[in-house]
Amino acid sequence: MKILSSLNIGENNVERLEKKFDCVEFYMYKDIEQAGDHLEDAEIFVTFGFDTTADLIEKMKKLKWIQCMSTGIDMLPFETLKERNILLTNVTGIHGIPIAEYVMAVILNDRIDGFRLYEQQKNKIWKRKMNFEEVFGKTITILGTGTIGKEIARKAKAFDMKTIGVNTSGKPVDYFDEIFPTCELNKALSQGDFVVDTLPLTHETKKILGKEQFASMKDSAYFINIGRGATVDEGALIEALQNHIIRGAALDVFEKEPLPQDSPLWTMKNVSITPHISGLSNMYMNRAVPIFEHNLKTYIEGKEDYINKVDLNKEY
């Protein structure tokens, strides 16, 4: 059995896996370009997903399972996976802590107007007159109440914020004061001082936030997207920001990545941009590799208790 990896999972992890699974041949590379010689023989492919095209899968004649070491899988060629009946698993559940920390960092930076203070520091300006507003008592509306949304809500409660969640069913979830079903999305949006999008990209969530949704928000609302860029109608978001329909936005994901140089988002004073890094941390592989290790044991033993097995029809 041969496993091909197009990402670096760390030497210590590789050594442990090789000792534990001595029936497996591991071919671990840092990118897909280095892995060319072993494409045809690989039965299992470990990847972040960005390099996994339909053409690549066609070259992998013996491929039976893809372990995607990211949560986002919307870039994968699902039709090809279905045709070949390839097992797909991912690492959903590992991003809660780093992304929740990112969101709270954004909120607290907004709380002290951190970017303006840094500009004052660079220009040696001593100005103490600032319109600071506490996050105490503010409302955070979180779209998606899974691992990430729930961890954001837990941290927000530590700052005495009111937490509102939106999910498909409207069923209660820990750390949320109130939950709205997706059919009442606009009602939930209207209450948020901060609105956080944690949604995956599916047929149901594509451009779920458009002109009507931004109009439903408070004009003082601050929008944070750490979910998927295409869950937002980017044109409607730009219009809402330009016309001050909402106060501002912190964006880590975009419809097209890298964000095109000609996007007006780059130069907007009420927008903060980061290059899809909210889920990264020094603990990433410490959380991802055990999922792969469990799934590899399951695969070898012919069992079905996979962690995060993806439904190829639902694409999540």
Judged by DSSP in three states, 182 sits in helix
Of the residues 83, 119, 212, 257, which is catalytic? Answer: 257
Beta strands in 176-311 (DSSP E): 178-181, 194-197, 222-225, 248-251, 271-273
Q: What is the dihedral of CA 140, 146, 147, 149, to 10 degrees?
A: -10
257 is catalytic: yes
Q: What is the dihedral of CA 295, 43, 47, 36, to 10 degrees?
A: 160
Answer for the pair 227, 197: CB distance below 8 angstroms, yes or no: yes
Q: What angle do CA 162, 168, 173 make, to 5 degrees?
A: 40
38 is catalytic: no
Of the residues 276, 287, 293, 315, which is catalytic? Answer: 276
Judged by DSSP in three states, 214 sits in helix
Of the residues 95, 228, 234, 247, which is catalytic? Answer: 228
276 is catalytic: yes
Backbone angles phi, psi at 302, to 5 degrees: 70, 25
Q: For residues 277 and 173, give the distance between their C-alpha atoms in angstroms, rounded to a whole number.
A: 27
Residue 253 half-sphere exposure, CB side, CA atoms within 13 Å? 21
Distance of CA 52 to the CA centre of its chain: 18
Active site residues: 228, 257, 276
